[in-house]
Amino acid sequence: MNAEQSSGHSTQHEPETYDIAATERKWQPVWEELQPFRADDDSPREKRYALTMFPYPSGDLHMGHAEVFALHDVMARYWWQRGYEVLNPMGFDSFGLPAENAAIRNDEHPDTYTRANIARSIESCRTYAASFDWTRTFNTSDPDYYRWTQWLFLKFHERGLAYRKNSAVNWCPQDQTVLANEQVVGGVCDRCGAEVTKKELTQWYFKITDYAQELLDGLDDLAATWPDRVVTAQRNWIGRSEGAHVDFALHTVGGDRHVTVYTTRPDTLYGATFMVIAADAALAAEVVHPDRAQALADYLVEVRKASDIDRLATDRPKTGVDLGITATNPVTGEEIPVWASDYVLADYGTGAIMAVPAHDQRDLDFAREMGLPVRRVIDTGEDDPEETYVATTGNGTYVRSGELDGLTDKAAGIRTIIERLEAEGRGTGAVNYRLRDWLLSRQRYWGAPIPIVHCPEHGEVAVPEDQLPVTLPMLRGADLKPRGTSPLGGATEWVDTTCPTCGGPATRDTDTMDTFVDSSWYMFRFCSPHDTDRAFDPEKVDAWMPCHLYVGGVEHAVLHLLYGRFFTKVLNDMGLVGFREPWSAQLNQGFVINQGKKMSKSLGNGVNLGEQLETFGVDAVRLTLVFAGPPEDDIDWANMSPEGSVRFLQRAWRLSGDVTSDPGTDPASGDPALRRTTARALHDASALVESYRFNVMVAKVMELVNATRKAIDSGCGPADPAVREAVEAVAVMLSLVAPYTAEEMWHRLGHEPTVARAGWPAVDESLLVEDTVTAVVQVRGKVKARLEVTPDISEADLEAAALADPGVQRALDGGEVRKVVVRAPKLVNIVV
RNA sequence: GCGCCCGUAGCCCAACGGCAGAGGCACACGGCUUAGGUCCGUGACAGUGUGAGUUCGAAUCUCACCGGGCGCACCA
């Protein structure tokens, strides 16, 4: 569809043709003028905060953006129509690697690329008619924003929640920077897919583990309004387990010492026949017998060669070295050998385990490999693991377990052992989490500098708040090339500074923050985006938040969504916000795919959004995406029909030209049947939007359009007030999905812009009550008759009517009626 | 290996335990048209992946299996 074609084909039969391109051009400037979606902090209306994950500014929008913005916009626009004051902001997560890499390639500054892309993105969004409040926009790479990112870092630092430690960290050789655990998926870099290696480095961390239990508990409430998969992913990621810390006496050459292990099965302590220490834990090197030190060192070399991918392979044979020392099993008093292996992780639990080969498959595999003893202490009725090499983990009767012998209850066994250990001072019940602290420093340029100065005298010194922001030095092109250390280190003038405490020479921290830090608090900033005195205005934040709906991709299930929750809890502890969860409800959209596969350059199956918009228009593309199916489902563009969407929009548009009654006509005297259809459509559409069934909502509008067409052509006629009522309802409902068409319809109906703020028509409840209802009569569950009855018919009357029906009588065929189930006024089922 | 979600017409998808079809695409036929479809109308097409069970009644609840998708997975 384009303008030339339509005007060229105007005929006396179709004098009016809907010119999509012209309509888009017509209303855009009008909306710019009206600014119908500017959120007013002081509005007396009830507030709604509709947030969609702000994007990295990649330039033109693509199909994925188009989908999420279309879905999100349905809810934002619906809330406006229902009379809420809606905050629907948009900004850009504009720090990050793509801009930096582009700057290296093009020998420029990342900001140049970033700003150009942001301008294009905003333009695309405006054409797309997303109902964002552009007066609140910001970019996380602007000093006005990252100054507050730095301020928050300092607040965390004050509270001991930002700290530095040395440890083996994830290193992406491609991006030349460290990564948080959350950014490593299956051993590869989440961003670039390169195989992640380990590196021993001193890095900054946020102490998210302090909030592990609360992050977990909060999910119980969110489970009702968040997608299951996100809640599950976060639960898994936090990975709470219950068990015990058990102390073992370790006999080393240098003397005895205690080592604590973490176990979820303290009840199997009698079956612990050896101990394993993580090979890369400092402890292993400390306790190893001198004769075995070389073997351990050799082994470590081997271990470090193995990539995460190798390490994650579950069928990988167990390896390890005997440390040449023994430990005392605290309940049996036995001396058991101590080994080092890479199947024990240094940074989980205590980095050391008690091995119970009979009841843990990993320990059994290791015992088998090394020829270590296996002792069954729970008889589950299955074959002995010692013979089958299959560890038994189920319930059974304790054997060879001292005071536990004869017990059959696992919980009781665990309780008994913990009580004994606690009484003897050899252990205690313990809870452990899989969640690790959040590694936030990055060795790249395009991020917020960490506002810390390192002083030879005073160590880590916070940059005073009044000296924020610590702005990035001007580096460009080759200066930004990754060298394994932060590019900021090369800016010596910037690095060399004075200690805020003593005034002596000192150096700035040269790492920048993970961009996930920027996005962990942006939802607060939107509430007072131009505040120059503070990160956000607590009063405004409490007025708008928590967000009533957060729409975005499920790929952030444990990254952004966990970090943002963590920040919110800390800010609440600091007294800056009045709530502990930032997003009350969440919706994940699916992907737009093509021909069954993810769109990609290599497959050559990409769909260009710009071309689709050019060909079908903004409204039709939006409509297609919303109508395609449930929002969470993937959309295969190859199965979609934007042509059909165009046709429907024209069909709807045409209705607006057929209405002959005047604006403001009282619909009360209108055709009752059409009025009921309209009322029903509005009523159903509300419920459907509120439950995110946007595709079904669109179907309801289509139904109303069809009914109205019929009423005009072969029913009450175009002059009937019910027709105007119906078409106006179509325009308002359509404004959630197809804003241009809806506006044009509204205009043709004789109204002033904008339909987007016209308000949801009030539904006359009496019109929702049907005069008659079709009652179904079943015999043996099969439909045998339909009766038109009043909605308030009594069960007895309905039963009598059903039994009197000739068709039913025939079906009964004289058989004996054993039971009659009546569900007035809809159904009767006769059991013979 | 463990857990979760999903299988309805040629296709995309609807259906408080109660008439399997709301809507759309594609298709066929008719109308309007010099013609076309971006118009109007009509129609055909599934018995709900398979097998059991619960129930007066199952697409819907339960179990098993088949097929597809997702998450977790050496975390002691």
Preceding peptide of A753 cis, ω within 30°:
no
CA closest to C1' of B72 belongs to: A236
Within residues 611-630 of protein chain A, the ones with CB less than 7 A from nucleic strand B are 627-630
Strands A586-589 and A597-598: unpaired
CB A749 within 8 A of CB A800: no
Query: Starting from the edge strand earliest in sequence, which strands make up the sheet with A592-594, in order?
Result: A597-598, A592-594, A635-636
Nearest to A768 by CA among A687, A694, A712: A687
Q: Cα torsion for A351, A357, A361, A364, to the nearest 10°? A: 100
Q: How confident is the model at residue A333 (pLDDT cuts 50, 70, 90)?
A: very high
- Our measurement of CA A775 to C1' B21, in angstroms, reads 18
Say whether pLDDT at A7 is over 60: no
pLDDT of residue A210: 95
CA distance A365 to A390: 9
**Mean pLDDT for all residues in chain A:** 91
In angstroms, the CA A117 to CA A326 distance is: 63
In contact, A486 and A444? CB cutoff 8 Å: yes
Write the pLDDT tens digit of every residue in A264-292: 999 999 999 999 999 989 999 999 999 99
Model pLDDT, residue A16: 63
Residue A182 pLDDT more than 90?
A: no
Closest residue (CA to C1') to nucleotide B22 in the complex = A699
Residue of A771 and A225 predicted with greater confidence = A225
Q: Kindly report each contact of residues A657-660 with a partner whose C-beta sits within 8 Å and lies 24 or more positions away, as own/partner.
A: A657/A16, A657/A748, A658/A712, A658/A718, A658/A723, A658/A727, A659/A718, A659/A723, A659/A724, A659/A727, A659/A748, A659/A749, A660/A718, A660/A719
Chain centroid offset of residue A641 CA: 29
Using the C1' atom of nucleotide B25, identify the protein residue whose alpha carbon is closest.
A641
Closest to A516 in 3D by CA, of A239, A191, A211, A219: A191
CA of A468 to C1' of B49 (A): 63
The confidence band for A12, taking pLDDT boundaries of 50, 70 and 90, is very low
> Cis before residue A754, ω within 30 degrees of 0?
yes
Asked if the Cβ of residue A353 lies within 7 A of any atom of strand B, the reply is yes
- Local confidence band at A792 (pLDDT 50, 70, 90 cut-offs): confident
Band (A770; pLDDT cuts 50, 70, 90): confident
A306 touches strand B (CB under 7 A): no
Q: How far is the CA of A643 from the C1' of B60 (A)?
A: 34
* Angle (CA) A805 A807 A811, round 5°: 115
The single-letter code of the amino acid at A297 is A
The share of chain A scoring above pLDDT 90, in percent, equals 73
DSSP single-letter state for residue A490: G
CA–C1' nearest nucleotide, residue A228: B4
**In the structure encoding, which two tokens stand for residue A275, read together?**
């101990």
- What is the pLDDT at residue A8? 30
Q: How confident is the model at residue A14 (pLDDT cuts 50, 70, 90)?
A: very low
Do A583 and A547 meet the contact criterion of CB atoms below 8 Å apart? yes
The helix (run of H) or strand (run of E) holding residue A460 is: strand A459-462
pLDDT band at residue A314 under the 50/70/90 scheme: low
pLDDT, mean of residues A636-662: 93
A750 touches strand B (CB under 7 A): no
Q: Is the pLDDT of residue A543 over 60?
A: yes
pLDDT over 90 at A187, yes or no: no
A373-390 pLDDT, tens digit per residue, is 999 999 988 888 888 888
For strand B, which residues in window 715-744 of chain A come within 7 Å by CB? none
Backbone angles phi, psi at A546, to 5 degrees: -65, 155
State the Cα–Cα distance between residues A9 and A597, nearest whole angstrom.
39
Name which residue leads in pLDDT, A195 or A683. Answer: A683
Report whether A548 contacts A49 (CB < 8 A).
yes
Which bases of chain B are contacted by protein, using any atom under 7 A from a CB?
3-5, 11-16, 18-20, 22-26, 32-41, 56-58, 70-76
| Per-residue flag: A339 CB under 7 A of strand B | no
Task: Say if residue A11's pLDDT is above 50.
Answer: no
Using CB atoms within 10 A of its CB, is residue A611 exposed (0-12), middle (13-18) or buried (19+)? Answer: exposed
Q: How many whole angstroms separate alpha carbon A214 and alpha carbon A598? A: 36
Residues 408-447 of A with CB under 7 A from strand B: 432, 434
Which residue's C-alpha is at the least distance from the C1' of B26? A641
Q: Is the CB of A647 under 7 A from strand B?
A: yes
- Backbone dihedral angles phi then psi of residue A527, each to the nearest 5 degrees: -75, -25
Is residue A817 scored above 90 in pLDDT?
no
In sequence order, the 6+-apart residues with CB closer than 8 A to the CB of A277 are A259, A283, A284, A287, A323, A338, A339, A340, A341, A344, A351, A352
Which range scores top for mean pLDDT: A79-93, A175-189, A467-481, A808-822?
A79-93
Q: What is the pLDDT of residue A112?
A: 92
Confirm if A398 and A377 have CB atoms less than 8 A apart. Answer: yes
A115-146, pLDDT tens digit by residue?
Answer: 999 999 999 999 999 999 999 999 999 999 99
How far, in Å, is the CA of A620 from the C1' of nucleotide B9? 26
- Per 3-state DSSP, what percentage of chain A is helix, strand, and coil (rounded to 5)? 45, 20, 35
DSSP secondary-structure letter at A815? -
Phi and psi at residue A539, in whole multiples of 5°? -65, -45
**pLDDT of amino acid A802:** 86
Tokens linked to A9: 């084909």
pTM of the model: 0.93
- Indicate if the pLDDT at residue A424 is higher than 70: yes
What six digits make up the tokens of A96? 């990050």
What is d(CA A640, CA A646) in angstroms, rounded to the nearest whole number?
Answer: 12
- What does the pLDDT look like over A475-513, one tens digit per residue? 888 888 877 788 999 999 999 999 999 999 999 999 999
pLDDT band at A185; cut points 50, 70, 90? confident
pLDDT at A3: 33
Residue with smallest Cα–C1' gap to B15: A696
Please state, for a pLDDT cut of 70, what percent of chain A lies above it.
97
Check pLDDT > 60 for residue A1.
no
A772 CB contact with strand B at below 7 Å: no
Assign residue A160 a region (left: φ > 0; alpha: ψ between -120 and 50; beta: otherwise): left
With a cut of 90, say whether residue A175 has pLDDT above it. no
Q: Residue A4: its pLDDT value, please?
A: 32
CB A427 within 8 A of CB A246: yes
Q: Interface pTM (ipTM) of the complex?
A: 0.95
Q: Please tell me the least confidently modeled range out of A301-315, A377-391, A443-457, A502-516.
A: A301-315
pLDDT tens for A603-628 read 788 899 999 999 999 999 999 999 99
Stretch A751-778: mean pLDDT? 90
Residue A378 CB in 7 A reach of strand B: no
CA A319 / C1′ B21 distance in Å: 61
Q: Which nucleotide is nearest to A774 (CA to C1')?
A: B19
Distance in Å, residue A695 CA to nucleotide B49 C1': 25
CB neighbours of A399 closer than 8 A, spacing ≥ 6?
A376, A377, A378, A379, A405
Cβ contact A161:A207 at 8 Å = yes
